[in-house]
Amino acid sequence: MPRVSWRAAYRLRLKRKRLLWRAFRARHQLHPVQLRLRTFAPDAVIVVTVLRNERSRLPYFLDYYRKLGAAHFLMIDNGSADGSAAYLQTQQDVSVWQCTAGYRAARFGLDWSTWLQRKYCHDRWSLTVDVDELLVFDSCAQKGLPDLTRWLDQQGIQGFGAMMLDLYPKGRLSHQIYQPGQDPTEVLDWFDTGPYRAERQAPLGNLWLQGGARERVFFADRPERSPTLNKIPLVKWDRAYAYVNSTHSILPRDLNAIYDGPGTSQPSGVLLHTKFLPEIVSKSETEKARQQHFHTPSDFDGYYVQLMAAPDLWQPQSQKYTGPSQLVDLGLMSRIAWRD
């Protein structure tokens, strides 16, 4: 990754300090309702999540990451009205904070999650994901998160990048049935194999990966506005780190070199994005009214209107999802040189 001038480096350092200061101030917006923190093993992986009204997804989400080896969950409930917070309080490996402050004003929740990472995840592996994101990687049916982070430690790699891959059903979005606790990939079992394009952005040096199903369906006439698909969700955290834009970019800037996108040899996985369950239709109406997503929410009103119409995202070129090994074979994530 190209180096930046000392002036640019200094500005980025100031930016990181400002982000950390924002997180410090935002700590007062978080109200602990259940803290089940304990002494964790050195290789413990801590999952950090901000959520709102995700009661139907939570059972599978928690079970999935437990089976993958997550040690604990730090969950921030941003004003749920569907019982999400009450459900989380029944879970023995979950610590819960409630927050009713504005999601967008808190950098889309990053001010809150950064504070928890700073306080509880220093010198530990932290996995920051949304409730609709399921991380997969090479051989994850046999290897868990502790195996992956142990391998990354052995390689001297501080993080693990992933492409966000939109999964969708065949047929209109409102015509599917999803039961709480069900594996969402049983309902959302199709995806776009491409095209995807990526470039590096200055001055952070972060990747900008776009393309796929959402661009094809919702942003064909303005592809520059289509969602960013690259993330660095898994990081050996340091209290001096800060995500800049979701988990798409991070400071210090050298950490952004961890991920080069699909089709490269760098260790990487895929975040299966299960956004398009049937509830997306009603949720889109709610989120359009709330105006809490995107930097300029009104620019995306048309996107929500299209979702509210429950479109069919499937096309003849769609690929049926069969498992992580398929994504390795397609080059959407890398093969890992495990050492048994």
Q: Which domain holds residue 213?
A: 6-329
How many Cβ atoms are within 10 Å of 29's Cβ, its own excluded? 19
Q: Flag whether 165 is in a domain.
A: yes
pTM of the predicted protein model? 0.95
Q: Flag whether 234 is in a domain.
A: yes
Q: Flag whether 200 is in a domain.
A: yes
The tens-digit pLDDT sequence of the chain (340 residues) is: 778 898 999 999 999 999 999 999 999 999 999 999 888 888 899 999 999 999 999 999 999 999 999 999 999 999 999 999 999 999 999 999 999 999 999 999 999 999 999 999 999 999 999 999 999 999 999 999 999 999 999 999 999 999 999 999 999 999 999 999 999 999 999 999 999 999 999 999 999 999 999 999 999 999 999 999 999 999 999 999 999 999 999 999 999 999 999 999 899 999 999 999 999 887 766 665 665 555 565 556 678 789 988 899 999 999 999 999 999 999 999 999 998 6
Nearest to 261 by CA among 226, 300, 223, 211: 211
Q: Flag whether 337 is in a domain.
A: no
Q: Flag whether 193 is in a domain.
A: yes
DSSP state of 41: P
Please give the order of strands across the beta sheet that includes 230-236: 31-34, 94-98, 72-77, 45-51, 125-128, 230-236, 159-166, 268-273, 133-136
Q: Are 37 and 112 in contact (CB under 8 A)?
A: no
Cis peptide leading into residue 223 (ω within 30°): no
Q: Flag whether 1 is in a domain.
A: no
Q: Flag whether 335 is in a domain.
A: no
* Burial (Cβ within 10 Å: 0-12, 13-18, ≥19) of residue 272: buried
Q: Flag whether 22 is in a domain.
A: yes
- The amino acid that residue 38 corresponds to is R
Q: How many domains, in total, are found in the chain?
A: 1
